[in-house]
Amino acid sequence: MLVHGLEGSSRSGYMVSLAATLLTHGFTVHRMNIRTCGGTEFQCRTLYHAGLTTDLFAYLAYLDRERRTPVYLVGFSLGGNMALKLAGELGPDAGRLLAGVAAVCTPLDLKACSLRLNARANYLYQWWFLRSMRTRLKRRAAILGPNVAVGDADIVKSVYELDDRITGPAFGFHGADHYYETQSALGFLDAIRVPTLLIQSQDDPLVPFEVCTRPVVRANRRIRLLTPEAGGHIGFLSRSLPRFWVDGVICRWIQDQRNEMGSAGV
């Protein structure tokens, strides 16, 4: 089950690429659209946020009723924060639904990453995210109603300000700081009880690498941390197939986990 990043969709290139690699190796793949993304804008009356795990859980519960669990959950960027947070929330009960979790270029500390977007070198990223989020908000203004400050979309000059004025309050948070503090996956890592692969490039322009050096990231023995020197933010181009290095890494990791389960008689 694959989950995309901020303002992405099930059709994002990295989602399609990994799905193709996994399908080639015999896996069934579900590409999930985060709430209101990928053409689903008018199927609900709310927004999405980085820690909104209820939709992931609902779909996993559906698969469980269909006797198709446990599954491997893979999240990219913001989707990685959701995946890790959900695994932590489920804690010792996660094994029924999740065989493992992989997260790629994940904003473990939402505030640190939001502030990193303000760097001059990230101007284009910030501009693109804001343009996409403003467009979505305005398109859904009539549905969202007066409780969401859509009018502030034209005032804000950063993702942090948008989260402070719009996203955070829309979900009952007391601004961006409260939203980031309570919804960052960093606060849930110690509760994860399923095999977890965390891939973070050291030159990611959006995720400060120092976050991965914090003790809580390395303390949980169930988390395997891979930190290639290069890769940018979900770049990881390869000279051979699969085209994206991370696709092969995730596929092999899942295969290894399945082999270990088989050898253990699970």
CA 15/CA 3 separation, integer angstroms: 8
H/E stretch holding 75: strand 71-76
pLDDT the model gives residue 183 = 98
Q: Determine the length of the chain.
A: 266
pLDDT confidence of residue 263: 62
Residues 154-170 pLDDT 10s = 999 999 999 999 999 99
Q: Is 123 exposed, middle or buried (0-12, 13-18, 19+ CB in 10 A)?
A: exposed
Nearest CA to 37 out of 161, 120, 139 is that of: 139
CATH classification number, 2-109+189-260, choose in 3.40.50.1100, 3.40.50.720, 3.20.20.70, 3.40.50.1820: 3.40.50.1820
Q: What is the pLDDT of residues 190-222, one digit of tens each?
A: 999 999 999 999 999 999 999 999 999 999 999
User: What predicted TM-score, i.e. pTM, was given to this entire model?
Assistant: 0.94
Q: What is the pLDDT of residue 165?
A: 94
The count of C-alpha atoms lying within 13 angstroms of the C-alpha of 75, restricted to the half-sphere facing its C-beta, is 27
Confidence of residue 110 (pLDDT cuts 50, 70, 90): very high
Pair of tokens at residue 124:
């284009």
Predicted confidence at residue 146, as pLDDT, reads 84
Provide mean pLDDT across the span 4-33. Answer: 96
- pLDDT at position 44 is 87
Q: Stretch 133-158: mean pLDDT, rounded? A: 90
Question: CA 257 to CA 251: how far, in whole Å?
Answer: 10
Angle at which helices 78-90 and 54-65 cross, to 10°: 60
The domain segmentation of the chain, as residue ranges, is 2-109+189-260, 115-183
Asked whether the beta carbons of 4 and 34 are under 8 A apart, the reply is yes
